[in-house]
Amino acid sequence: MSQSPQTPMTSRQRVLAALNREPVDRTPVCNPTSVATVELMDLVDAPFPEANRNPELMARLAATSYTELGFDTIMPVFSIIQESSALGCKIQWEQKDNWPTVRMSEPIWREPEDIKISADILNHPDMTCVPEAIKILRREYGDEVAIIGKTMGPWSLGYHCFGVEPFLLMSLDDPDKTKRCLDRMKDLTIEYGIAQIEAGADAVTLPDHATGDLVSGEYYERYLRDLHIEFAERIPGHIILHICGRTVDRMEYIAQTGMSAFHYDSKNGPRESMDIVQDRISLVGNINNPQTLFSRGPEDVREEVYENLEAGVHMVGPECAIPLQTSIENLKEIPRAVQDWHRDHPAGL
Ligand SMILES: [Zn+2]
């Protein structure tokens, strides 16, 4: 890591520097996906499912990652359903203790020709909610903290609108048809990303779930690398790509996209991942959710934070949206551990 600047940076400066792979005073703690918990919902009276649909509540719940947990980012898009709801998928909105989900057993599309996206989809209430929340947060927190939005990639939208199995089967049987589908969905990803950058987001997370357990690295290259290069060119802000699972077999391609950062999963070691991406894209991650953050204690959290810092990972945070019952103590341990590590390593690495 580069030498630390002398004066303390604001959270926003720190995150922007890490996204550009420039020197930082300490590694930023960053959540490209949700850190909302039931405890935080109660604390600020902004529960699910309403906090996914009402911009005031969305902003209020999201702000807790900065005000309560001490992270350097605020990320108001807790779920992956905003676009799918606007596209007409059936959504199970659930209650406070559960995520809203798309009912993928009832797909809305079968063929590329079925993909029809209304010209004013960005005005659907489940879409406008996010830029509205970003504006509220920017007004409230000014320049002090980084604000991150989210726009879903076409591979993920394909799962939601075609169903996971039909979409994967199509990708096996008919690459051309699959590419036509991705092509017809990609503008939504771009336009929603632009809307959030214009609303004041410093970066957008772009989940595109070509996950390690479902598709191979070769698939990523065939279907998504060029598309992701196009996103980096056409969305005028930082993009943080999010793909769960073991992804070292596609990190070489991901590093070629020109995106600012890759949000990576704990199934990949920090060191092996840094060795692949080198200085081409920033990494953010990769504290394990289901075991470490959800069911273990602060000592284990600290150990994983240190492992990332020692490998020179650019930003530290949970690997994915955290379980809603995660303890606040475990989450607060992430910034604490980062500060302690930097106190003991004043010159960085
Ligand atoms: Zn994920």
Q: How many CB atoms lie within 10 A of CB 201?
A: 30
Q: How many CB atoms lie within 10 A of CB 205?
A: 26
pLDDT of residue 1: 47
Distance 64 CA to ligand 1 centre (A): 21
pLDDT of residue 5: 64
pLDDT of residue 47: 98
Q: Is the distance from CB of 76 to CB of 92 less than 8 angstroms?
A: no
At residue 70, the 3 state secondary structure works out as coil
Residue 4 has pLDDT above 70, yes or no: no
Distance 25 CA to ligand 1 centre (A): 28
Share of the chain above pLDDT 70, in %: 98
CB neighbours of 67 closer than 8 A, spacing ≥ 6? none
Mean pLDDT of 20-24: 97
Q: How far apart are CA 231 and CA 167, in angstroms?
A: 21
Distance 296 CA to ligand 1 centre (A): 20
41-68, pLDDT tens digit by residue?
999 999 999 999 999 999 999 999 999 9
Distance 3 CA to ligand 1 centre (A): 32
pTM for the model stands at 0.97
335-348, pLDDT tens digit by residue?
999 999 999 998 77
Distance 310 CA to ligand 1 centre (A): 23
283-335, pLDDT tens digit by residue?
999 999 999 999 999 999 999 999 999 999 999 999 999 999 999 999 999 99
Distance 203 CA to ligand 1 centre (A): 17
Distance 264 CA to ligand 1 centre (A): 8
Q: How many CB atoms lie within 10 A of CB 97?
A: 12
271-286, pLDDT tens digit by residue?
999 999 999 999 999 9
Q: How many CB atoms lie within 10 A of CB 199?
A: 19
pLDDT of residue 6: 61
Distance 167 CA to ligand 1 centre (A): 19
CB neighbours of 213 closer than 8 A, spacing ≥ 6? 245, 246
